[in-house]
Structure 1
């Protein structure tokens, strides 16, 4: 059971609890990106176990007719064991999802995984004519070139500022510079992509930037936010735009919860209130 301190950010420890949360979101016109928590496995057994659960989750989503898709992490699917392991497990999941009409997002992890993740995404997206999405991080110096590379690849691209802490030789470290990179990436995407743009941000200024670019270029886009963060804003935005909430679940919640608490003072205050009231 997920303790009260974390259940704002994690939708329980089972697929059933996660899909029940999704049902509530759908009732408020918000769609869901469901993620089974887990990452950086150094043994094949948990890789195969999580991959099998994702395939079952695809069946559950398709059978429930919920507005939902899934999101996987490369290191969860065995990238630390070898790129061939990751590609094999990912291909099985994407094939199963394609058979059921369920979209698959591939999360982007730290900068050392970028090439393997990009290559796998492009291969899967071209093979299936879409049905797969990838995340690009604005804080990486290489991302402008990566955005151009993906302009003609079917599927979707999620743009985020970047949640990891890469070294300065591969990333921008100044917040103002990262914000400018993000703005420029959105401008390029709305101008050059035919659609499939996901704005992964809780920053009101970036969401306003995206809506203005949508008005200028007419390019389709969606807004993505995390479970437990600015949820009332998500519901408000869903009255006019397509909004997706990232919904993690599972018993490996501790590291994910820690990152959420450390990201924003508001999240830290919420966690402290939960401790004091328990």
Structure 2
């Protein structure tokens, strides 16, 4: 059982609990990105099990009529076992999701996985052209998206490369701690990179922009860029963080909440509350107010 402090950040241990949370979100105008917790598997059994659960999850989402999609991690789908394993499992999930009209996000993990993740994303999006190849529903919301991290020095080139790829791109500052030779360490520099990447995307992309940030300044920057360029975008935030702001923003903008679930919640929870001081303070406030 997930303790009260952790269930602010994790929707439960089962798909049913996750979809119950999604239903409550939808009632408040917020959509959901559902993620089964798990990563860095070094055996095929958990890879196959999680991939099968994702395929079942997209059917559940489609059958429920909820505004939701899924998000998967490359190491969860066997990237540590080999790029061929990852690609095979991912392709099956994307194919199942396309059949059911459900969108698939590919999370970005540490910097060593960037090439494999972007290559798989680009190949799948060009094959499916947003998932339309396999979907029988002309109004389908299926497709594929990927995440890029502003703290990596390579990301400007990656964002330019992805400009004509027919998928979506989530822009985040970066939650991992890559070495200084591949990443910016100064927070002000990372903020500047994030702003510049968003400006390039709003000017050059034909929509498909996801602003993955809880920073009010960055969200305001995205709003201003939308007003300037008219490019469609969405805002993505984590479950349990600035939820009141999510509901307020949803009155005017498309807002998605990242909704993790599963029995591997402990490592996710501890990472979230320790990776940034603001998250730790938020967790402490949650304890005091519970």
Please say if 1:196 is aligned against 2:197.
no
Quote how far apart the aligned CAs of 1:275 are.
5.6
Q: 1:70 aligns to what?
A: 70
User: RMSD over aligned Cα, in angstroms?
Assistant: 1.3
- Whether contact under 8 Å (1:158, 1:197) holds in the other structure is yes
User: Any stretches of 5+ residues in structure 1 without a counterpart?
Assistant: none
Quote how far apart the aligned CAs of 1:274 are.
5.8
Shift >4 Å, 4+ stretches: 273-278
Q: Match of 1:151, SS?
A: helix
TM-score (norm 1): 0.97
Please say if 1:111 is aligned against 2:111.
yes
Query: Given the superposition, is the C-alpha separation of residues 28 and 276 from structure 1 closer, same or farther in structure 2, using an over 3 Å criterion?
Result: closer
Q: 1:247 aligns to what?
A: 259
Quote how far apart the aligned CAs of 1:107 are.
0.1
Q: 2:163 aligns to what?
A: 151
Deviation track 1:102-132 (CA, whole Å, cap 9, x = no partner) reads 0000000000000000000001111111100
Q: 1:86 aligns to what?
A: 86
Q: Match of 1:10, SS?
A: coil
Give me the whole-angstrom Cα distance separating, in 1, the residues matched to 2:20 and 2:242: 20
Q: 2:5 aligns to what?
A: 5
Quote how far apart the aligned CAs of 1:263 are.
3.5
Q: 2:280 aligns to what?
A: 268
Aligned partner (choices 225, 229, 237) of residue 217 of structure 1: 229
Aligned residues: 278
Deviation track 1:17-43 (CA, whole Å, cap 9, x = no partner) reads 000000000001100000000000000
TM-score (norm 2): 0.93
Q: 2:191 aligns to what?
A: 179
Quote how far apart the aligned CAs of 1:276 are.
6.8
Quote how far apart the aligned CAs of 1:230 are.
0.2
Give me the whole-angstrom Cα distance separating, in 2, the residues matched to 1:67 and 1:116: 29
Aligned partner (choices 210, 219, 227) of residue 239 of structure 2: 227
Give me the whole-angstrom Cα distance separating, in 1, the residues matched to 2:281 and 2:155: 33
Quote how far apart the aligned CAs of 1:262 are.
1.3
Please say if 1:45 is aligned against 2:45.
yes
Quote how far apart the aligned CAs of 1:268 are.
2.4
- Whether contact under 8 Å (1:4, 1:274) holds in the other structure is no
Quote how far apart the aligned CAs of 1:266 are.
4.7
Q: 1:20 aligns to what?
A: 20
User: Any stretches of 5+ residues in structure 2 without a counterpart?
Assistant: 131-142
Deviation track 1:86-105 (CA, whole Å, cap 9, x = no partner) reads 00000000000000110000
Q: Match of 1:150, SS?
A: helix
Alignment of 1:126-137 (within 5 A): 126-130=126-130, 131-137=143-149
Q: Match of 2:164, SS?
A: coil
Query: Given the superposition, is the C-alpha separation of residues 145 and 8 from structure 1 closer, same or farther in structure 2, using an over 3 Å criterion?
Result: same
